[in-house]
């Protein structure tokens, strides 16, 4: 194992390759922080640039982008309550309240550090797991995928502060997720004759609407800057160092977030949004003194951000071993690999060990470099929270709508973003959880498709969900997720009496 | 006075709009000089069609002239129909071409669904790729031959969803092998070919039909066992063709990637595009690039590609009764 690792490190250390890596990081940070652009767009845009490169150089450039995107995305999540990429959505829950309390510096420091460390932990896990990667991917058939989605939805509902509102938001998310063509049953659902809706709605314009636009509408109502902290001295951005320290003071949250991220990343087709949300709800449910979650608990930033970068390491397993992309950016990355004559599949792990280590190292350095860059820039970035709303609102809305359009060059996506902007605003005013809607939306397709496939496999006998090992384990975890808050309540009651 | 000013403003606005409309009218490029041609890919970036166009575009541009640019344009949506319709409705001036999935785009028409295009009317420029389908089982399965599959009870095909070429190919194989009476299960709905082949390795189902190039890596890794392949001559060493095993009706089962322009293209322009296509596919640099991008080059020039399309309609028409949705709810 050492020899291919050294070959990879040696190659990566060459001047021109470092330049490619830094270019990737810069592009990744910018594309990650602008809602609607994201890693997939960045990779697609830089794809033609790689034609004249060595395959390994193309991998380094793409590794730079993938390692940096999610860190970039956390910045807008924390400062503007607008996730730069879908997996950053969970970071909003505690990151934004911290910004409003004048603690943006702490949140950014924690996010950058947790992302970097999470990325490193997952890559270590990846290297250890590579020899048995194939077996892990094979554990997840349709019944296990279905149970995983059930586990996701359950933790989501349990984590909602108001159960009824959480359930309503989840139902809305499922409803919007079911719009489009069902390719098993072969029917169109809720498309009201509009061709655009045939493929369902994309997650990106939905996020742009629910967060960026809705948030700006709300800011217009309240006026003034985002940070509502009244004391002038706290307007200076401080606390980045405290943010870094907070990550190491909460090692348990960091490790659990990274482990959940890596594991979910390994399951093809689930993606980072679920990973970061599961990490968040795990932290919110199992941490001591958890009453401040949702109102600006730093652990609520650490857990999803660690998971968010950790999932990239995990997602490489299905992408490289089976050519099954775990996310949109992995799908385009797969195209880059194939264009450069590297064909992902079971043989790749054996035949091109050095190439894989190159990618792992590129991701590792990209994570660390972008984390460091964000820490250096945190002071300046956090000033956005103090910009007056009358300047901020037009800028954010313009960038958001252009981002929605840029996704598929489609005006339909702009309409979707505007619709969800209005819905998001209503949800803010009526205090309904928007994140719950997002996660249910993401899980709807996974849950439905795998349920139908399982029922076809089982020939209608649903009891067989419990005779499949992986799905049984996930079912037990679901029951545990349901019982933890009940147990906690009992414990708390016991302690007070 | 104010009314006069306002009228003047409207007049100016109208004039500007009129001039811009004229300026934006599609140019009539019989000579293609300085043209920017887009090749519509009806899917998202990253897949096989995207890869084929991105590998081909620079070499096609090179053959069209020094100042010609060829740009890949992803127009995903409605299972590829949005992109196909865009090409079908485009001005036939050669500026908009597209890559088409065959029989993927033929099937909706054969099944009587409403589509806004007719492939038989397009101006076919040439075929880039063609791959035969291969029948596969898991290497650990008890099924070791085509005879085993025919004799077995509880056959379950894994594939992508309804309307996809893979499900249609599975249904045609089931029909051709006489399995229909045994009510085989069609476990459809996987996201892509690699997904359902991994499902086959895992044991979600027990047989699959897949394009040979995607299946090859799983065959080489020893995870999957090929039982029979379409085509007149076997492309896989030691694997019999369907014809060898007595099922010649399954020989034409393939997936093709061909390039076409909108209907009604001027003959001279079409001739130019076809000639450039023929030179590009013979360019050694392109052949090298195609090998790197793992394209399964089986080029066919314009006229022949058009004939192939017409024939594929009648082939799939013959299996129409097998092609209804097996999981309709």
**Chains A–B, number of C-beta pairs less than 8 Å apart:** 131
Lowest mean pLDDT among A204-218, A311-325, B36-50, B278-292: A311-325
State residue B64's pLDDT score: 92
* B118 lies in the same domain as B63: yes
Chain A contact for B199 (CB, 8 A cutoff):
yes
Stretch A265-289: mean pLDDT: 81
* B244 lies in the same domain as B267: no
Q: Measured between beta carbons, which residues in chain A are less than 8 angstroms from residue B58? A: 51
* B168 lies in the same domain as B310: no
Q: With b meaning 16 or more CB within 10 Å and e meaning fewer, what string describes B107-121? A: bbbbbeeebebebee
pLDDT band at B261 (very low <50, low <70, confident <90, very high): very high
* B209 lies in the same domain as B122: no
DSSP state, residue B75: -
Q: Measured between beta carbons, which residues in chain A are less than 8 angstroms from residue B224? A: none
What sign does the dihedral A129-B220-B103-B61 (CA atoms) show?
positive
Q: How far is B29 from chain A (nearest CA, A)?
A: 25
State residue A382's pLDDT score: 72
Lowest mean pLDDT among A171-175, B97-101, B109-113: B109-113
Greater confidence, A353 or A404? A404
Q: Measured between beta carbons, which residues in chain A are less than 8 angstroms from residue B74? A: 408
State residue B325's pLDDT score: 87
* B57 lies in the same domain as B142: no
In this model, does residue B8 exceed pLDDT 90?
no
DSSP state, residue B26: P
Asked whether residue B29 is assigned to any structural domain, the reply reads: no
Asked whether residue B222 is assigned to any structural domain, the reply reads: yes
Q: Is the peptide bond before A33 cis (omega within 30 degrees of 0)?
A: no
Q: How far apart are CA B200 and CA B136, in angstroms?
A: 9
Per the structure block, which two tokens stand in for A78? 């924390």
In this model, does residue A345 exceed pLDDT 70?
no
**Given an 8 Å threshold on Cβ–Cβ distance, is A456 in contact with B187?**
yes
Greater confidence, B188 or B48? B188
Domain count across chain B: 2
Which one of B51, B77, B201 has the shortest CB-CB distance to A198? Answer: B77
Determine how β-strand B185-190 pairs with β-strand B156-160: parallel
DSSP state, residue B321: G
In this model, does residue B45 exceed pLDDT 50?
yes
**pLDDT tens-digit map of B161-176:** 887 889 999 999 999 9
Domain final residue, candidates B214, B231, B253: B253
Q: Measured between beta carbons, which residues in chain B are less than 8 angstroms from residue A416? A: none
Greater confidence, A366 or A160? A366
Highest mean pLDDT among A122-131, A153-162, B129-138, B183-192: B129-138
In this model, does residue A2 exceed pLDDT 80?
no
* B224 lies in the same domain as B119: no
Q: How far apart are CA B187 and CA B79, in angstroms?
A: 19
Using CA atoms, how far residue B29 sits from A154, A275, B87, B192, in Å, is 60, 52, 17, 39
**Given an 8 Å threshold on Cβ–Cβ distance, is A341 in contact with B188?**
no
Query: Residue B2: helix, strand or coil by DSSP?
Result: helix
In this model, does residue A232 exceed pLDDT 50?
no
In this model, does residue B130 exceed pLDDT 80?
yes
Q: How far is A386 from chain B (nearest CA, A)?
A: 39
**Given an 8 Å threshold on Cβ–Cβ distance, is B204 in contact with A269?**
no
Lowest mean pLDDT among A342-356, A399-413, B261-275, B297-311: A342-356
Chain A contact for B88 (CB, 8 A cutoff):
no
What is the Cα A472 distance to its own chain's centre?
26
Asked whether residue B15 is assigned to any structural domain, the reply reads: no
In this model, does residue B22 exceed pLDDT 60?
no
Q: How far apart are CA A417 and CA A431, in angstroms?
A: 20
Chain B residue closest to A456 (CA)?
B187
% of chain A at pLDDT higher than 70: 92
List the domain range (segments joined by +) for residue B211.
Answer: 132-253
Chain B residue closest to A54 (CA)?
B292
* B126 lies in the same domain as B259: yes
Lowest mean pLDDT among A179-188, A321-330, A412-421: A321-330
Q: Measured between beta carbons, which residues in chain A are less than 8 angstroms from residue B185? A: 456-457, 459
**Given an 8 Å threshold on Cβ–Cβ distance, is A331 in contact with B205?**
no
* B266 lies in the same domain as B246: no
**pLDDT tens-digit map of A45-97:** 787 677 778 888 888 898 889 888 888 889 888 988 888 888 888 899 899 99
Chain A contact for B112 (CB, 8 A cutoff):
no
Beta bridge partners of B325: none
Domain final residue, candidates B253, B271, B298: B253
Q: Is the peptide bond before B153 cis (omega within 30 degrees of 0)?
A: no
Chain A residue closest to B290 (CA)?
A339
Compute the 3-state secondary structure of chain A and give helix, strand, coil in percent, each to the nearest 5: 80, 0, 20
Domain holding B81: CATH number? 3.40.190.150
C-alpha angle with apex A175: A280 to A301, nearest 5 degrees?
A: 15
Query: Residue A383: helix, strand or coil by DSSP?
Result: helix
């Amino acid at each position: 194992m050492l020899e291919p690792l050294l070959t990879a490190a040696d190659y990566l250390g060459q001047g021109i390759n470092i330049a490619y890596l830094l270019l990737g990081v810069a592009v990744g940070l910018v594309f990650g922080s602008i809602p609607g652009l994201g890693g997939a767009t960045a990779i697609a845009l830089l794809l033609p640039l790689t034609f004249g490169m060595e395959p390994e150089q193309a991998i380094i450039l793409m590794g730079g982008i993938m390692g940096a995107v999610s860190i970039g995305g956390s910045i807008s999540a924390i400062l503007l309550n607008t996730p730069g990429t879908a997996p950053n959505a969970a970071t909003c829950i505690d990151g934004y309240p911290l910004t409003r309390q004048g603690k943006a510096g702490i949140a950014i420091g924690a996010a950058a550090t947790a992302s970097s460390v999470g990325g490193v932990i997952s890559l270590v896990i990846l290297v250890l797991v590579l020899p048995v990667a194939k077996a892990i991917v094979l554990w997840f058939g349709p019944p296990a995928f279905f149970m995983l989605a059930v586990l996701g939805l359950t933790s989501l509902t349990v984590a909602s502060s108001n159960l009824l509102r959480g359930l309503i938001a989840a139902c809305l998310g499922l409803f919007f997720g079911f719009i489009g063509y069902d390719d098993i049953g072969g029917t169109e659902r809720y498309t009201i004759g509009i061709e655009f809706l045939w493929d369902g709605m994309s997650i990106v314009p939905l996020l742009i609407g629910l967060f960026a636009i809705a948030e700006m509408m709300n800011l217009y109502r309240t006026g003034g800057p985002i940070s509502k902290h009244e004391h002038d001295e706290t307007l200076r951005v401080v606390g980045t160092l405290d943010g870094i320290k907070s990550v190491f003071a909460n090692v348990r949250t960091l490790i659990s977030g990274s482990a959940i991220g890596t594991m979910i990343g390994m399951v093809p087709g689930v993606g980072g949004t679920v990973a970061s949300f599961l990490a968040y709800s795990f932290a919110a449910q199992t941490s001591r003194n958890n009453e401040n979650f949702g109102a600006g608990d730093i652990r609520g930033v650490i857990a999803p951000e660690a998971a968010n970068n950790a999932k990239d390491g995990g997602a490489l397993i299905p992408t490289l071993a089976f050519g099954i992309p775990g996310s949109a950016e992995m799908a385009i990355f797969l195209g880059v690999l194939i264009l450069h004559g590297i064909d992902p599949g079971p043989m790749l792990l054996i035949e091109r060990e050095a190439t894989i280590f190159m990618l792992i190292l590129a991701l590792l350095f990209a994570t660390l470099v972008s984390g460091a860059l964000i820490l250096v820039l945190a002071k300046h970035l956090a000033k956005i929270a103090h910009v007056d709303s009358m300047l901020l609102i037009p800028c954010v809305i313009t960038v958001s709508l252009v981002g929605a359009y840029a996704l598929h060059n489609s005006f339909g996506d702009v309409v979707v973003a505007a619709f969800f902007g209005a819905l998001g605003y209503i949800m803010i005013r009526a205090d309904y959880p928007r994140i719950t809607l997002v996660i249910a939306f993401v899980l709807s397709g996974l849950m439905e498709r795998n349920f139908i496939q399982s029922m076809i496999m089982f020939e209608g006998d649903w009891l067989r969900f419990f005779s499949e090992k992986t799905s049984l384990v996930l079912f037990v975890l679901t029951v545990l997720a349901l019982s933890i808050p009940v147990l906690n309540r009992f414990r708390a009651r016991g302690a007070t009496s | 006075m104010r009314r006069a000013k306002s009228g003047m403003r409207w007049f100016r606005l109208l004039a500007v709009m009129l001039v811009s409309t004229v300026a934006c009218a599609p140019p009539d490029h019989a000579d293609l000089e300085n043209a920017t041609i887009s090749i519509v890919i009806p899917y998202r970036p990253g897949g096989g069609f995207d890869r084929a166009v991105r590998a081909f575009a620079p070499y096609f541009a090179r053959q069209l002239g020094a100042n010609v640019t060829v740009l890949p344009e992803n127009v995903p949506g409605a299972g590829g129909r949005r992109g196909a319709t865009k090409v079908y409705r485009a001005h036939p001036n050669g500026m908009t071409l597209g890559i088409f999935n065959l029989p993927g785009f033929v099937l909706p028409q054969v099944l009587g669904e409403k589509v806004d295009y007719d492939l038989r009317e397009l101006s076919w420029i040439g075929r880039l790729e063609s791959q035969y389908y291969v029948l596969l089982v898991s290497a650990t399965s008890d099924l070791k031959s085509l005879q085993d599959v025919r004799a077995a009870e509880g056959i379950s095909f894994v594939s992508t969803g309804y309307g996809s070429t893979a499900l249609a190919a599975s249904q045609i194989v089931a029909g051709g092998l006489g399995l229909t009476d045994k009510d085989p299960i069609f476990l459809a709905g996987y996201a892509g070919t690699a997904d359902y082949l991994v499902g086959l390795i895992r044991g979600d189902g027990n047989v699959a039909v897949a394009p040979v190039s995607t299946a090859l890596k799983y065959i080489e890794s020893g995870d999957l066992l090929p039982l029979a392949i379409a085509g007149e001559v076997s492309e896989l060493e030691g694997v019999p063709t369907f014809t060898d095993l007595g099922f010649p009706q399954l020989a034409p089962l393939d997936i093709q990637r061909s390039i076409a322009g909108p209907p009604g293209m001027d003959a001279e322009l079409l001739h130019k595009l076809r000639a450039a296509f023929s030179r590009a596919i013979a360019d050694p640099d392109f052949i090298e690039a195609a090998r790197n991008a793992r394209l399964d080059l089986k080029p066919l020039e314009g006229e022949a590609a058009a004939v192939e399309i017409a024939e594929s309609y009648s082939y799939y028409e013959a299996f129409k009764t097998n092609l209804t949705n097996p999981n309709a709810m």
